[in-house]
Amino acid sequence: MQFAVIGGDNRQGFLVNLLTAKGYSVNTYGLEKFEHLESSQFSGSLSGAVSGADVIILPLPITRNGVTINAPFAYSDIYLSDVIALFKKNQLILGGKVPEYMFEAAATHDIKLYDYLNREEMSVLNAIPTAEGAIEIAMRETDKTIFGSSCLCIGYGRIGKALSSRLHALGANVTSSARKFSDIAWITSNGMNSVRTDALENELNKFDLIFNTVPHLIMDSKNLDKCKSTAVIIDLASAPGGVDYVYAHTKGLKALAALSLPGKVAPITAAEIMLGAIINMVYEYYD
């Protein structure tokens, strides 16, 4: 089976090596400046990389601006329209955070396009390096230990679960927020304090560290006014995030956007997680 990996960051670079180690043939384009690849894996052109490929792997996210492929290791811009134009009906196209217009274009031309970030096994495992990365940032940005700190995790999804349990294991006094009563019960059963997300306002002045995992504006001016002046706010939610950064900085609060942590703090592990999801999708597709 022939793979093509187009663009991407450290994760896609290490993914190429993992695929090669498993015996797959892999062509790449847009990873020329990634120093851990063999030169034999590079294709001289986009069409050369894509033609003949059974599976085409695009970055996570595919694009950051809607125009070019997310390819920080490429020598030049790779235009999304040029990539889409090369897709063939018999190919399996996989990408992360696929824009809706790409799904629409693929459907029009009977192209098989899937988002590997929607795979539950990848989302669950990806929460682990995200949680570890968030804790690393917290350790770096505060003058206190995690042990004994009062921490708030906003949201009890995959990342919220992974992060709150690890903070709790490190001896932090952890409060997790959730919207669902069932999640409130799980938080309590796991030995942590709980609060409804829509009732945070009266609790925020208690916390040294606030981690947001909800991709909506939760930490608005009203809630930011309730925070300690020394609080550190770490936003893990997808862009545009859940914090009013302009207002936070006006107040002198330390508010940090922490996006794509798996690729930054543990790219090899992130690539292994991505590989597992992709191989599962390939098996399901060709089964």
So what's the pLDDT on residue 68?
A: 95
Q: How confident is the model at residue 39 (pLDDT cuts 50, 70, 90)?
A: low
Residue 204 has pLDDT above 90, yes or no: yes
Pairwise CA distance, residues 19 & 271, whole Å: 10
So what's the pLDDT on residue 40?
A: 65
* CATH code given to domain 2-118: 3.40.50.720
For the chain, how are helix, strand and coil distributed in percent, rounded to 5? Answer: 45, 20, 40
Pairwise CA distance, residues 33 & 238, whole Å: 27
∠ CA 278-66-33, rounded to 5°: 60
So what's the pLDDT on residue 52?
A: 87
Closest CA to 87 of 51, 58, 60: 51
Per mean pLDDT, which of 36-50, 76-90, 110-124, 148-162 is the most reliable? Answer: 148-162
| Averaged confidence pLDDT in the chain | 93
Contact 260, 159 (CB under 8 A): no
Q: Hey, is 251 helix, strand or coil?
A: coil
∠ CA 78-84-85, rounded to 5°: 100
Structure tokens at 109: 């031309």
Residue 268 has pLDDT above 70, yes or no: yes
Contact 262, 132 (CB under 8 A): no
Q: How confident is the model at residue 240 (pLDDT cuts 50, 70, 90)?
A: confident
So what's the pLDDT on residue 24?
A: 92
Residue 41 has pLDDT above 80, yes or no: no
Which option is the CATH number for 122-263: 1.10.10.10, 3.20.20.300, 3.40.50.720, 3.40.50.970? Answer: 3.40.50.720
Pairwise CA distance, residues 159 & 162, whole Å: 5
Q: Please say whether the dihedral angle defined by the alpha carbons of residues 254, 259, 261 and 265, taken in this order, is positive or negative.
A: negative
- The 10 Å Cβ neighbour count of residue 109 is 12
Q: Which helix (H) or strand (E) holds 17?
A: helix 10-21
Contact 248, 225 (CB under 8 A): no
Structure tokens at 4: 């093509």
Backbone angles phi, psi at 282, to 5 degrees: -65, -45
**Count, residues in the chain:** 287
Give 42-60 pLDDT, tens digit per residue. Answer: 888 999 999 889 999 999 9
Contact 42, 29 (CB under 8 A): yes
So what's the pLDDT on residue 108?
A: 87
Domain with CATH 3.40.50.720 in the chain: 2-118, 122-263
Give 72-86 pLDDT, tens digit per residue. Answer: 999 999 999 999 899
The predicted model gives 164-172 an average pLDDT of 97
Pairwise CA distance, residues 57 & 69, whole Å: 12
Give 207-224 pLDDT, tens digit per residue. Answer: 999 999 999 999 999 999
Pairwise CA distance, residues 5 & 274, whole Å: 13
